[in-house]
Amino acid sequence: MKKFIFVTGGVVSSLGKGIASSSIGTLLESHGYRITILKFDPYLNVDPGTMNPFQHGEVFVTDDGAETDLDLGHYERFTNAHITRKNNATSGQIYNAVLTREREGGYLGKTVQVVPHITDEIKNRILAVSRNVDIVITEIGGTVGDIESLPFLEAARQMQIQKEKDTLHIHLTLIPYIKAADELKTKPTQHSVGRLREIGIQPEILLCRTEKPLSDEIKEKIALFCNVKKGAVIEALDTDIIYEIPLIFSRQNLDNIILGYLGLKARRNNDLKKWKDIVYTLRNPKKDIVIGVAGKYVKLHDSYKSIYEALVHGGIANNVRVIYKKIDTEFVEREGMDKIAGDISGIIMPGGFGTRGIEGMIKVIKYARERKMPFLGICLGMQCACVEFARNVCGLKDAASTECNAGTSNPVICFLPRQRDVTLMGGTMRLGAYSCSLKKGTIAYSSYKKSVVCERHRHRYEFNNRYRNLFEKKGIVFSGIYKNEDLVEIIELKNHPFFVATQFHPEFRSKPFSPHPLFSAFIRSSLKHSLR
């Protein structure tokens, strides 16, 4: 019998439902259960692919080419779940599917309504991902009380009626600490659970986000006013290491509480030793190392979420703590690198779109190239590396990407042929996993230790093969190629300890227990640089 867990959030947004859901998945997997995690986003955009990173944060890309919410990155990093486009749905997708079906005559003239047609579509999406797993964890985005999330909560209420013994509701809420009164306040949680109960959902478990431990008295009060058992009031205590959260939950017996509510028995004893080892390494590193993250979206931390996590993983592989220093490339454009480069041992340049901050990126790359500082460029970072090399080494002073300068006489980065007639913005880039053949004797090959790899993409522009011979003569090595279309995937610089740039996004495949090879190699080279 399939089991269904719904995770909702209350009081305020950004409490960490994605990490909480992922941690619950970790605990259930540790007991031998196959899980998957589904995220519902209440906004009307069809997907986050066209949304501003400053509003939405990172767009995470799956193997099958879906542009999804960043929480799906947490799902992959914390669990063994196979995440696809079916694991993320927005209100836009749900309504679009129902209205398309209506236009095609699928409802045979019936009046199409939120209940039952929208809620049925939501429930069908939940059931669709349940086929090869034991437990589906469904995270409902937004905050209880938001009008946008009501259809999803109604669908969850219906699921509880239809599958009463197989459904569990977990509510993540906030217990604010009032410093002036030196008190933790439970009233916001009481109100949040009250709103849920008005909708018809009684949560069985409360995860209480708090910066201070909860006393027995507070737990008893929460249990009484929210109609839950005291043992099901769980501290979601603040921590600086997200990989400690499964351990925090396990210490409070959350995994066994969940199994008990769902009528399940542990298939094996949970072994969280590898999580303990990770936390120990992060708390007791041999050395700290500072990595510059040079990008145009650094003002919002979530814009480069997978980048930051992959850097942490690369640090774990080398037993060092990575401290990232955010470098706003617009600032570099105005002021140069000298004011901010003092303690940096390596530079990573993530992806992005548009012309803003590009000249600052090129200055950062020139700095790393000339000073032989380890550099890892990703997507736009790779394209800017090609522009910088063309201008400052090859002598092509007007070299540019056609995204930034459509009239340049040296378009070293240009549209894919298939992109020239594209009119729609959303979902039309080169997306998802493609193979990459590696050249022996290169940094890429020595990092991966294999000839062919598969990595995820999200871009419209490619290196212009017209310039390959010139680049090779001047010292660029094309170490990774997508052979089916002869597209450049990885470039390296000769006579440089680590200057690697990729067209794909390696950060999407990195996990704490299997750090991405390029990130591990980059941190290793940066560590050597710091010891010079």
Residues belonging to the active site:
379, 505, 507
What is the CA 356 to chain-centroid distance, rounded? 23
Cα-flanking dihedrals φ and ψ of residue 400, to 5°?
-165, 170
Query: Would you say 42 and 141 are in contact if contact means Cβ atoms under 8 Å apart?
Result: yes
CA atoms within 13 A on the CB side of 274: 11
Contacts of 430 (CB under 8 A, 6+ apart): 416, 457, 458, 459, 460
**CB burial class (10 A; 0-12, 13-18, 19+) of residue 342?**
exposed
Q: For residues 257 and 70, what is the distance between their CA atoms, to the nearest angstrom? A: 28
Residue 520 three-state SS: helix
* Helix, strand, coil share of the chain (percent; to 5): 40, 25, 35
Closest CA to 61 of 506, 514, 513, 515: 506
H helix or E strand, kind and range, residue 445: helix 443-448
| Exposure of 72 in the CB half-sphere (CA atoms within 13 A) | 26
Q: Is 33 exposed, middle or buried (0-12, 13-18, 19+ CB in 10 A)?
A: buried
> Using CA atoms, how far apart are residues 461 and 404, in angstroms rounded to an integer?
11
213: preceding bond cis by omega (within 30 degrees)? no
Contact 384, 358 (CB under 8 A): yes
Query: Cα 513 to chain center, whole Å?
Result: 16
Give the three-class secondary structure for 338.
coil
Sheet arrangement for strand 233-237 = 88-90, 35-41, 135-140, 3-9, 167-174, 205-210, 233-237
Selection from 429, 431, 426 nearest residue 455 by Cα: 431
The answer to whether residues 481 and 440 touch, using CB atoms and an 8 Å cutoff, is: no
Q: Cα 160 to the chain's mean position, in Å?
A: 30
Alpha-carbon distance of 401 to 420, in angstroms, equals: 15
Distant-in-sequence, close-in-space partners of 105: CB < 8 Å, separation ≥ 6: none
What is the rounded CA–CA span in Å between residue 309 and residue 287? Answer: 18
